[in-house]
């Protein structure tokens, strides 16, 4: 169920009305759990049981873990829980990928395996809720969070529909206390949530979905297009993926606010990062901090010397790439970003900082991320290579229409202005001073614009596939 679909609007309206009509706190949380189950089950009613099953296992293991005095047994329980979660993820997400990869390797060696293709359906949001479950068990193991005594509370932590499908990846110490906190209806929060939702809706329905109509054909048949079209498509995709994912996040945070929950921010003007490390501090923040805390630091982080730091960076980013999708192009994307981080670290260590050239650094970092998006978006390595070649070596070919060029450039211009405003203007301060009619008119105008300019085909969020 997409946030910008009428099905979701209907579900949310009912949930919102019942949630605030019910006075008892626990009942309210029950309403959200039921809404979350309906939200998930509308996509596939059977896979909700996978989610409920893994959630129950984690819930009981955490309770057991907390009661166990033996450090060794505690560790074993944690590992068992992580193994179950990663096992489920591996089966559903990487099953076919591993079989096909093994098949390819054996075929190259002249040993055809004729591996069967299993029709494994990828449960929506599995990558996100698996990481949330791991966070929980690790925090309980570390004693940072107390094991939840109520299964309903734990279900809500995992299933809470605004973040269920594509994050932000919430941490137990941040979210669980909110479940216990009694909610009071607040119009200020409702209008703030509505503002965020509208902003996300414009990003997604108006910018990302219109850009996808232009970008998709170029990435589908890049061989037909010339360098200018390729450049526009790559830049367009950079804008599309940002507006798509950050639009989703804005909507998720907005919806959560209307129910009295606060989700962490996931983006902070990522295309204004002046280096790749900063980019990862601004892009998909909940994932990059998760990878830092649960992978990079446990691997040793930067505490074991230069080479091991580089190794840890590479491992973290390659696995981060693989987390995005079961394809070698995602692995390559992760490897590429790991390499950029290593180069940046080496550059930084050698203290060859160029002062006063921040705009140039920003532009260079943006260019590097754009090249990365080619690996991320292309269907195959040969497509990716072809696109990168045509980006840097002029080639005549099919061009985009004048309208397509206009839309892409407009979207990029809007993105630039939004980044400038987000960086240099204190919007919150201005917003607090606005009169109610102006705020109301802004909300209504955003909804009218979103309706008028969104394409008829509602497109799924890019990150839903992960």
Give me the residues that bind another protein (CB under 8 A), please: 6, 186-192, 194, 210, 213, 403, 406-407, 410, 432, 435-437, 439-445, 447-448, 451-456
Shorter beta-carbon distance to another protein: residue 223 or 413 = 413
Cis peptide before 87 (omega within 30 of 0): no
CB of 38 to another protein, least distance (A): 18
State the DSSP code for 283. Answer: S
The answer to whether 267 and 246 are in contact (CB under 8 A) is yes
Q: Nearest to residue 139, comparing CAs of 179, 98, 81, 220? A: 81
The answer to whether 332 and 321 are in contact (CB under 8 A) is yes
What does residue 225 show for φ and ψ, rounded to 5 degrees?
Answer: -100, 150
CB of 406 to another protein, least distance (A): 5
CB of 82 to another protein, least distance (A): 43
In the block, tokens 């650094």 appear at: 361
Shorter beta-carbon distance to another protein: residue 4 or 163 = 4
302 in helix, strand or coil? coil
289 CB contacts (<8 Å, ≥6 apart)? Answer: none
Rounded distance, CA 115 to CA 252, Å? Answer: 40
Q: Chain-centre distance of CA 172, in angstroms?
A: 18
CB of 382 to another protein, least distance (A): 28
CB of 428 to another protein, least distance (A): 12
In the block, tokens 């091991």 appear at: 308
Dmax over CA atoms of the chain, in Å, equals 73
CB of 187 to another protein, least distance (A): 4
What does residue 178 show for φ and ψ, rounded to 5 degrees?
Answer: -65, -30
Shorter beta-carbon distance to another protein: residue 228 or 274 = 228
Shorter beta-carbon distance to another protein: residue 305 or 440 = 440
Q: Chain-centre distance of CA 218, in angstroms?
A: 24
The answer to whether 260 and 22 are in contact (CB under 8 A) is no
CB of 445 to another protein, least distance (A): 8
Identified catalytic residue from 4, 163, 324, 337: 324
State the DSSP code for 226. Answer: -
Concerning whether 419 is annotated as a catalytic residue, the answer is no
Shorter beta-carbon distance to another protein: residue 295 or 447 = 447
- How many residues make up the chain in this entry? 466
Shorter beta-carbon distance to another protein: residue 429 or 432 = 432
State the DSSP code for 125. Answer: T
| Bridge partners of residue 398, in order along the sequence | 225
Shorter beta-carbon distance to another protein: residue 17 or 441 = 441
Which residues are the active-site residues?
Answer: 324
């Amino acid at each position: 169920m997409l946030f910008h679909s009428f099905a979701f609007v209907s579900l949310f309206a009912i949930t919102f009305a019942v949630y605030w009509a019910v006075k008892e706190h626990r009942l309210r949380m029950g309403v959200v759990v039921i809404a979350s189950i309906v939200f998930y089950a509308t996509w596939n009613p059977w896979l909700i049981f996978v989610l409920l099953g893994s959630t129950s296992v984690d819930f009981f293991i955490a309770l057991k873990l907390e009661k166990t005095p033996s450090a060794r047994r505690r560790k074993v329980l944690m590992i068992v829980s992580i193994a179950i979660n990663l096992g489920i993820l591996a089966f559903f997400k990487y099953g076919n990928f591993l079989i096909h990869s093994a098949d390819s390797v054996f075929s190259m060696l002249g040993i055809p395996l004729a591996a069967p293709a299993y029709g494994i359906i990828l449960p929506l949001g599995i990558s996100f809720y698996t990481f949330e479950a791991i966070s929980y068990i690790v925090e309980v193991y570390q004693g940072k969070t107390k094991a939840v005594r109520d299964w309903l509370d734990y279900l809500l932590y995992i299933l809470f529909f605004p973040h269920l499908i594509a994050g932000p990846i919430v941490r137990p110490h941040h979210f669980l206390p909110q479940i216990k906190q009694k909610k009071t209806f607040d119009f200020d929060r409702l209008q703030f949530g509505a503002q965020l939702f509208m902003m996300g809706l414009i990003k997604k329905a108006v910018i990302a979905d219109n850009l996808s109509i232009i970008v998709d054909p170029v990435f589908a048949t890049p061989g037909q297009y010339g360098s200018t079209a390729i450049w526009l498509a790559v830049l367009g995709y950079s804008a599309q993926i940002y507006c798509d994912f950050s639009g989703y996040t804005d909507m998720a945070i907005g919806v959560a606010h209307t129910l009295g929950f606060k989700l962490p921010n996931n983006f902070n003007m990522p295309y204004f990062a002046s280096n790749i490390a900063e980019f990862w501090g601004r892009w998909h923040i909940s994932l990059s901090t998760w990878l830092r805390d649960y992978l990079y630091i446990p691997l040793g982080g930067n505490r074991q010397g230069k080479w091991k730091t580089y190794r840890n960076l590479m491992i973290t980013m390659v696995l981060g790439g693989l987390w995005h999708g079961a394809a070698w192009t995602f692995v390559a994307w992760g490897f590429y970003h790991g390499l950029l981080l290593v180069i940046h670290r080496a550059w930084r260590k050698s203290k060859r900082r160029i002062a006063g050239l921040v705009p140039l650094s920003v532009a260079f970092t943006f260019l590097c991320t754009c090249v990365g998006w080619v690996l991320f978006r292309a269907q195959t390595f040969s497509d990716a290579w072809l696109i990168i070649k045509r980006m840097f070596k002029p080639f005549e070919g099919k061009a985009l229409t004048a309208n397509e060029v206009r839309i892409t450039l407009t979207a990029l211009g809007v993105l630039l202005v939004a980044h400038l405003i987000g960086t240099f203007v204190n919007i919150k301060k201005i917003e607090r001073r606005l009169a109610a009619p102006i705020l109301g008119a802004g909300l209504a105008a955003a909804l009218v614009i979103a309706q008028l300019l969104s394409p008829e085909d509602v497109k799924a969020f890019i990150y839903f596939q992960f």
